């Protein structure tokens, strides 16, 4: 980070802090965190006899000492302000997690007051440092920090409304509720994976847009992870990639407090996290006293910044619920209010005479500078960008599109369209055509597959691989890490509104990444999930690889757009909707097998979710309506032809996206599915669950309500009755 | 492993093999597997000039040398038989994965021919060693081994039917199709986690039942994992637990071939696996030449067995597609048939003159001894068990119940029942009452929570924790590792039919473990998923923690029993069905909040899935049917009362398990939901997706089709309209 003209007093202190000798983590044998933990007293600020033991003994000039002493007192006051805002808010709500904020207040203070660059009055300023609280249950830490830093989203009233209906301070951090919160966390491990995505985004944009004379992209990603995050597989996946990619500007603090909900981590978590992260290619630093070791924390951050080719894990040993005389260092302080008497005891122990929610004047005064400093930081950057734009118009336009989310005019014209004469092709291949058509038109399109690029057909042919040495490229290689992949894409999507991240695996393996996909939907991250091999049509790989219930399971998920396109036009339509919807993720379920381009399909049809592709009826009164999706729309078209030959008036309907259809006007819906026509047959090579709503009580849903089988695709279709004959027979029964 | 009277020639060779010096893994700096790999020639058995370089230079008696030479030739012939059975089967199917079997044939041969104890004619013999192919795509390796070993499930004809409709040799290993296959793998990482569960089961049973004079439980769990498995988060979760628990009889072979589907693992997987596993507390051995280094492999296994307090990872560096002159060591050999000309070239290269699917007579002869030896092993064990039973009748009865799956008579009488007078309680607490009632009655009940035992209420009070030093105990502490937990429970369930493993987390976090849950359903593993905090009723934790679409998503999953009990009787009923269904997993969605014990609920009602809890109509013609589940059944009961006061004939129905209701007779279904009564209202604090089938086109489903919110539970219920008033109003509209 280049020195800035707005260097603050605290930042000056940071720059003065002395690095520890051999600050890299000691070997596991030498560590005995639990015993070192148990030797930690519960500090009282009034006496604090041993606190200074944790500070390195260094010789300083007297003037500095004096200045520092005052400063240290203020820092401690600020840290206790954070602790008590958390204690008081949880107490008032009688719900929440005070333990983490009490233990992590020191690192939180140093980050938000001394280290991070942000503009509280514009939480969306592009070049801000990002902070992710992966241990999201400790959200009062972040709310307290946002409050002190001057964010309008968290006023005193909001703190008092913690966890209440309609408040800006929900029970876990939610980016869509609270400006200043970058991503949505709480489900453990998601946040650190989001942070990897944010850091990937920065590294990519910096490599792509920075010039020798203008470092226009330059910010850090900070993250606090707890023991719970560390146990989750998703965090190992994401951190393995962070090491592989050498994300040097990712700095994660591991709140090593040895307590999880069930008690001491000894009961289930005795691995050496340090050794594991060494294996993952991270730089590791151990801050042994995270409770009061401010200089240790500062030095660790300085060291982490100096390591530019690896992400850094700063293991900060803390005491959960620090300051609570009877509950600190126990699970009882993790997830419940302290209770009135323990709040009193903690106030006494930490020497805190103030009323609940009180921010002492000098603390308020100290933090108030962030408003003007933040404005300056942004103004400086704006000026820098104006210069950049003059010199590098083309790059500036691309970057601006990513920053603002406004796609270049006419981007959608890049999408291909098809006529029935175009030879049959798998929708996974048609998807690749769309991705490659969009890549030059949509600057923020970036993504890849979980080690199935050649099966998912997701490579952008004009770009190379995003790798440690080539971060300007746009093909991301996620390895076999579906859950991490999804959460990394959430981080990319939420880094800047113009990013259009996509990721891919077999549709059935959404089961591995559903946690991240739900967060996409909840946190309004417009990730595109390219999910191929979408049915028994994949054939021989068998039931472990054949999705059955997955379409239904995502149709039931709020704010998720679930597409199952039938051919080239529908695939292009799905991409059009997906790219436009930056606050709503999309899943494209795509076929392995070839499908014909059908008469009547269109991009416009897809935009309505359900639409008629062919009809020989008049007066909106067909004898029967046949409905299909994806690979089975061909069966619908053929069955319609057969029935028409026999004199029936048949409407063939594509139901490519249930959600979009549901959002159409009643009039439009009636025009496709007239209430009076109850003879309806649906067919889909998947669970029939949910179809009763579409075909009605009198209709028939053809599908598969058991698991698939291992055999050539055509054989399975026939054995499972997913055939033209089945549709024709069902239709004849109804009309 | 104690020396056995049936020690074979191969086992004798194994016992003779010389351990390498310093066989523990060298430090990452010294390792350069990719360069050592590239220096490996493609061996031709006819010349094989460098093969012996890999064998330790040791002095042996001449007689042994002679014997060994013959034996080595036979081993190589056997290994090539395995390779060509895989090559030929994939070629005939024109589908499958030849690369892994070709590379892993040596370790596969040594395991099945020299190391493992099993009885091919009784694949379910209790004390067999277990083998799991976590890299399940390489299933032809296992099919070839089962074939050679004499399992009736894989005859020559079955090999020729690889990946065909109705065959015993599906595209990935499926325990429910192929006796001899222990678990269902393919989705990466599941298998190693299953193996951890199998090894846990062995360690638990051994500690619980072995006596100083009778080691009645004594077997190993072997597993082959690939690079893909290693990248998946689930494997890190499970392996962290394996290290924590010190599963010394778990021996995993890491097929370190540096190739994944997208190419060289360099593109996405550059972490040091060795260092990571060291951090996880495993013993690590590196076999540098897995292609022909038979003695290295033997020595590694011997060393692994000598380490009894840690699981062992044997990193075996192999060449994927070993023997294929043009495709070995490339992704092209991973997942496609070699093609006729490359098959020919490979036959020439490996000196294999035989027709497809041919097993040379001497190889056949060599393997034939496993039939008699296996029978002896089982007979010996049976005799041992007969002795055990005489001395330790009580323990033998318990163990027998676990081995056979026959629960002690009358176990279900342990379940509590309730009357409406019993005070309201949360179903999570009622669940704990059931678990604690069942624990003494059901010997195989074992399980725990993903760090939420005190929230999920899953502790068995009469038992301690299953830990490294106390493996006889039955409370398992999984840490925050949901996906690993589910897959470990699958392993336990499939170890022996009488195991009743349960595991727990918040219902919303099924999103983290859905991959394992689907495998429970597919592989007929009767795991009980205790999923608490099942709706917006959890309150302040907010939308990240509030399930919405989860009920629908599991109701759509084949072979999964989804329960949402309303009170004490229904919770007991759900447990009764769950324990009985050993081939069908169950999910219990349980409330955080207190619920009253309702009149009319019963265990018998639950067994039917849907049933009437109260009714003031006559002649099966109510004015309206109100339907609810779980916490909303109380709302249904109250709304029914209100409507009855107004003179309506109202039926109140609990729909606790849709699957069970679906399986009832048409007559029973008509008795609960008569077709003529279309005035139906359902209420559930969850997505309405799927309810149209129950309430019909004319009915109304009340639910929540967006995300939840952070606020006290009562407030959210009111704001979301999940109320008695809403049901009454909807009912009045319909009748």
**Has B473 been annotated as catalytic?**
no
The mean of the pLDDT values for chain A is 92
Q: How many CB pairs under 8 A join A and B?
A: 359
Residues of B with Cβ-Cβ distance to A260 under 8 angstroms: 451, 479-480
Residue A502 clears pLDDT 50, i.e. is over it: yes
Residue A43 clears pLDDT 50, i.e. is over it: no
Is-contact A633 A654, C-beta < 8 A?
A: yes
Residue A277 clears pLDDT 70, i.e. is over it: yes
Residue of B nearest to A174 (CA): B544
User: Percentage of residues in chain B with pLDDT exceeding 90?
Assistant: 90
- Looking at the complex, report in whole angstroms how far the Cα of residue B518 sits from the nearest Cα belonging to chain A: 8
Residue A3 clears pLDDT 80, i.e. is over it: no
Distance CA A535, CA B255 (A): 30
pLDDT value of position B59: 34
| Closest residue by Cα to residue B277 from B302, B313, B308, B251 | B313
| Cross-chain residue pair B552–A260, CB shorter than 8 Å | no
- Looking at the complex, report in whole angstroms how far the Cα of residue A176 sits from the nearest Cα belonging to chain B: 12
Report whether A586 belongs to an annotated binding site: no
Interface probe for B, chosen from A135, A172, A236 (most Cβ of B below 10 Å), is A236
Report whether A188 belongs to an annotated binding site: yes
Task: Pick B233's closest partner by Cβ from A187, A236, A281.
Answer: A236
Report whether A615 belongs to an annotated binding site: no
Task: Pick A451's closest partner by Cβ from B262, B517, B542.
Answer: B262
Residues of B with Cβ-Cβ distance to A229 under 8 angstroms: 480
| Closest residue by Cα to residue B491 from B459, B460, B526, B449 | B526
What's the pLDDT tens digit per position in A285-336?
A: 999 999 999 999 999 999 999 999 999 999 999 999 999 999 999 999 999 9
pLDDT value of position B262: 87
| Cross-chain residue pair A270–B243, CB shorter than 8 Å | yes
Residues of B with Cβ-Cβ distance to A696 under 8 angstroms: 697
| Cross-chain residue pair B172–A240, CB shorter than 8 Å | no
Residues of A with Cβ-Cβ distance to B449 under 8 angstroms: 262
Distance CA A442, CA B27 (A): 46
Residues of A with Cβ-Cβ distance to B254 under 8 angstroms: none
Q: Catalytic positions of A, please?
A: 482
Is-contact B193 B516, C-beta < 8 A?
A: yes
Q: What pLDDT band is residue A435 in, cutting at 50, 70 and 90? A: very high
- Looking at the complex, report in whole angstroms how far the Cα of residue B151 sits from the nearest Cα belonging to chain A: 21
| Cross-chain residue pair A172–B690, CB shorter than 8 Å | no
Distance CA B599, CA B594 (A): 16
| Cross-chain residue pair A281–B268, CB shorter than 8 Å | no
| Closest residue by Cα to residue A496 from A280, A730, A208 | A208
Distance CA A136, CA A191 (A): 8
pLDDT value of position B143: 98
Interface probe for B, chosen from A268, A270, A459, A685 (most Cβ of B below 10 Å), is A268
Report whether A655 belongs to an annotated binding site: no
pLDDT value of position B13: 36
Residue numbering of the annotated binding site of B for thiamine diphosphate = 137, 186-188, 228, 257, 334, 509
| Cross-chain residue pair B172–A542, CB shorter than 8 Å | yes
pLDDT value of position B6: 35
| Cross-chain residue pair A478–B268, CB shorter than 8 Å | yes
Average pLDDT over residues A65-83: 85
Q: What pLDDT band is residue A47 in, cutting at 50, 70 and 90? A: very low
Report whether A447 belongs to an annotated binding site: no
The ipTM of this complex is 0.92
| b/e A600-619 (16+ beta carbons within 10 angstroms → b) | bbbbebbbbbbbbbbbbbee
Residue numbering of the annotated binding site of B = 97, 137, 186-188, 227-228, 257, 259, 334, 428, 455, 509, 533, 541, 545, 592
Q: What pLDDT band is residue A598 in, cutting at 50, 70 and 90? A: very high
- In degrees, rounded to 5, the angle at the alpha carbon of residue B509 between the alpha carbons of residues B281 and A524 is 115
Q: What pLDDT band is residue A127 in, cutting at 50, 70 and 90? A: very high
| Closest residue by Cα to residue B436 from B524, B530, B507 | B530
| Cross-chain residue pair B280–A269, CB shorter than 8 Å | no
CA of A568: how far to CAs of A434, A595, A602, A709, B25, in Å? 9, 9, 9, 28, 52
Q: What is the DSSP letter of B53?
A: G
Residue A423 clears pLDDT 70, i.e. is over it: yes
What's the pLDDT tens digit per position in B447-456?
A: 999 999 999 9
Q: What is the DSSP letter of A265?
A: G
| Cross-chain residue pair B172–A544, CB shorter than 8 Å | yes
Task: Pick A271's closest partner by Cβ from B187, B281, B452.
Answer: B281
pLDDT value of position A429: 98
Interface probe for B, chosen from A139, A184, A225, A542 (most Cβ of B below 10 Å), is A542
pLDDT value of position A70: 83
Non-local CB neighbours of B449 within 8 Å, separated by 6+ positions: A262, B455, B456, B458, B477, B478, B503, B504, B505, B530
Mean pLDDT in order along chain B per 10 residues (735 residues) = 35 35 36 34 32 34 52 95 98 97 98 98 98 98 98 98 98 98 98 98 98 98 98 98 98 95 93 98 98 97 98 98 96 95 98 98 98 98 98 98 98 98 98 98 98 97 98 98 98 98 98 98 98 98 98 98 98 98 98 98 98 98 98 98 98 98 98 98 98 97 98 98 98 97
Residue B497 has φ and ψ, to the nearest 5°, of -65, -15
| Cross-chain residue pair B481–A172, CB shorter than 8 Å | no
What DSSP assignment string belongs to B383-420? Answer: HHHHHHHHH-HHHHHHHHHHHH--PPTTGGGGS----T
| Cross-chain residue pair A479–B184, CB shorter than 8 Å | no
| Cross-chain residue pair A275–B278, CB shorter than 8 Å | yes
- Looking at the complex, report in whole angstroms how far the Cα of residue B164 sits from the nearest Cα belonging to chain A: 4
| Cross-chain residue pair A273–B280, CB shorter than 8 Å | no
- pTM here is 0.92
Distance CA A557, CA A562 (A): 9
| Cross-chain residue pair B480–A227, CB shorter than 8 Å | yes
Q: What is the DSSP letter of A187?
A: S
Task: Pick A187's closest partner by Cβ from B267, B268, B544.
Answer: B544
- Looking at the complex, report in whole angstroms how far the Cα of residue A79 sits from the nearest Cα belonging to chain B: 25
Residues of A with Cβ-Cβ distance to B552 under 8 angstroms: 552-553, 556, 689-690
Task: Pick B481's closest partner by Cβ from A232, A478, A549.
Answer: A232
Residue of A nearest to B29 (CA): A279
- Looking at the complex, report in whole angstroms how far the Cα of residue B570 sits from the nearest Cα belonging to chain A: 25
Active-site position among B303, B378, B482, B684: B482
Residues of B with Cβ-Cβ distance to A237 under 8 angstroms: 231-233, 236
Residues of B with Cβ-Cβ distance to A92 under 8 angstroms: none
Residue A55 clears pLDDT 70, i.e. is over it: no
Residues of A with Cβ-Cβ distance to B274 under 8 angstroms: 279
Report whether A620 belongs to an annotated binding site: no
Interface probe for A, chosen from B162, B169, B231 (most Cβ of A below 10 Å), is B231
| Cross-chain residue pair B271–A244, CB shorter than 8 Å | yes
Report whether A228 belongs to an annotated binding site: yes
CA of B331: how far to CAs of A170, B44, B98, B260, B397, in Å? 48, 21, 11, 6, 52
| Cross-chain residue pair B172–A272, CB shorter than 8 Å | no
pLDDT value of position A59: 34
| b/e A325-344 (16+ beta carbons within 10 angstroms → b) | ebbbbbbbbbbbbbeeebbe
């Amino acid at each position: 980070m280049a020195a800035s003209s707005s260097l603050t007093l605290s930042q000056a202190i940071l720059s003065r802090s002395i690095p520890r000798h051999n600050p890299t983590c000691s070997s596991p044998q030498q560590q005995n965190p639990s015993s070192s933990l148990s030797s930690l007293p519960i500090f009282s600020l009034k006496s604090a006899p041993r606190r200074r033991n944790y500070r390195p003994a260094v010789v300083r000039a007297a003037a500095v000492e004096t200045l520092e002493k005052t400063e240290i007192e203020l820092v401690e006051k600020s840290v206790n302000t954070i602790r008590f805002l958390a204690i008081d808010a949880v107490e008032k709500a009688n719900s929440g997690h005070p333990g983490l904020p009490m233990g992590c207040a020191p690192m939180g203070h140093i980050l938000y007051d001394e280290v991070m660059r942000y503009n509280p009055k514009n939480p969306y300023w592009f070049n801000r440092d990002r902070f992710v609280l992966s241990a999201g249950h400790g959200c009062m830490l972040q709310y307290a920090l946002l409050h002190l830093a001057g964010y309008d989203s968290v006023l005193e009233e909001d703190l008092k409304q913690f966890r209440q209906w309609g408040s800006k301070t929900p029970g876990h951090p939610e980016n869509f509720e609270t400006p200043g919160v970058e991503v949505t966390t709480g489900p453990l491990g998601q946040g650190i994976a989001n942070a990897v995505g944010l850091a990937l985004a920065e590294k990519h944009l910096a490599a792509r847009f920075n010039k020798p004379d203008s470092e226009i992209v330059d910010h850090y990603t900070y993250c606090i992870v707890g023991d719970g995050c560390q146990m989750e597989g998703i965090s190992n996946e994401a951190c393995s990639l962070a090491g592989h990619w050498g994300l040097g500007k990712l700095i994660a603090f591991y709140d090593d407090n040895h307590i999880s909900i069930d008690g001491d981590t000894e009961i289930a978590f005795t691995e050496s996290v340090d050794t594991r992260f060494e294996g993952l290619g991270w730089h590791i630093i151990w801050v042994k006293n995270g409770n009061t070791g401010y200089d240790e924390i500062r030095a660790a951050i300085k060291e982490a910044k100096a390591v530019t080719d690896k992400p850094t894990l700063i293991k900060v040993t803390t005491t959960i619920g620090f300051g609570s005389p009877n509950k600190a260092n126990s699970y009882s302080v993790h997830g419940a209010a302290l209770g009135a008497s323990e709040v009193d005891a903690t106030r006494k122990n930490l020497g805190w005479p103030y009323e609940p929610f009180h921010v002492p004047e000098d603390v308020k005064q100290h933090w108030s500078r962030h408003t003007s400093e933040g404005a300056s930081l942004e103004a400086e950057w704006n000026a820098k960008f104006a210069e950049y734009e003059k010199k590098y118009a083309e790059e500036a336009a691309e970057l601006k599109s990513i920053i603002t989310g406004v796609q270049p005019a006419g981007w959608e014209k890049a999408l291909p369209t098809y006529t029935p004469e175009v030879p049959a092709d798998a929708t996974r291949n048609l998807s690749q055509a769309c991705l490659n058509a969009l890549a030059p038109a949509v600057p923020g399109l970036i993504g890849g597959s979980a080690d199935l690029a050649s099966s998912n057909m997701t490579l952008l042919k004009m770009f190379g691989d995003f790798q440690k040495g080539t971060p300007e490229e746009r093909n991301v290689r996620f390895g076999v890490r579906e859950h991490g992949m999804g959460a990394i894409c959430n981080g990319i999507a939420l880094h800047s509104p113009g990013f259009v991240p996509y990721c891919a695996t077999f549709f059935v393996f959404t089961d591995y990444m559903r946690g991240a996909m739900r967060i996409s939907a909840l946190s309004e991250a417009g990730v595109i999930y390219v999910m191929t091999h979408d049915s028994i049509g994949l054939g021989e790989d068998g039931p472990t690889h054949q999705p059955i219930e997955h379409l239904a399971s995502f149709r039931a998920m709020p704010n998720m757009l679930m597409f199952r396109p039938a051919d080239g036009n529908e695939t292009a339509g799905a991409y059009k909707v997906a790219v436009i919807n930056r606050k709503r993720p999309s899943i494209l379920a795509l076929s392995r097998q070839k499908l014909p381009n059908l008469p009547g399909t269109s991009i416009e049809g897809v935009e309505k979710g359900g639409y008629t592709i062919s009809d020989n009826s008049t007066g909106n009164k067909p004898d029967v309506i046949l409905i299909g999706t994806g690979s089975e729309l061909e069966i619908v078209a053929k069955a319609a032809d057969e029935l028409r030959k026999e004199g029936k008036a048949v409407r063939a309907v594509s139901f490519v996206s249930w959600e979009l259809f549901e959002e159409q006007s009643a009039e439009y819906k009636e025009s496709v599915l007239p209430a009076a026509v109850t003879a309806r047959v649906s067919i889909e090579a998947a669970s029939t669950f949910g179809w009763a709503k579409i075909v009605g009580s009198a209709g028939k849903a053809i599908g598969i309500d058991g698991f698939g089988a291992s055999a050539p695709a055509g054989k399975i279709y026939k054995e499972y009755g997913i055939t033209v004959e089945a549709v024709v027979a069902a239709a004849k029964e109804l009309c």
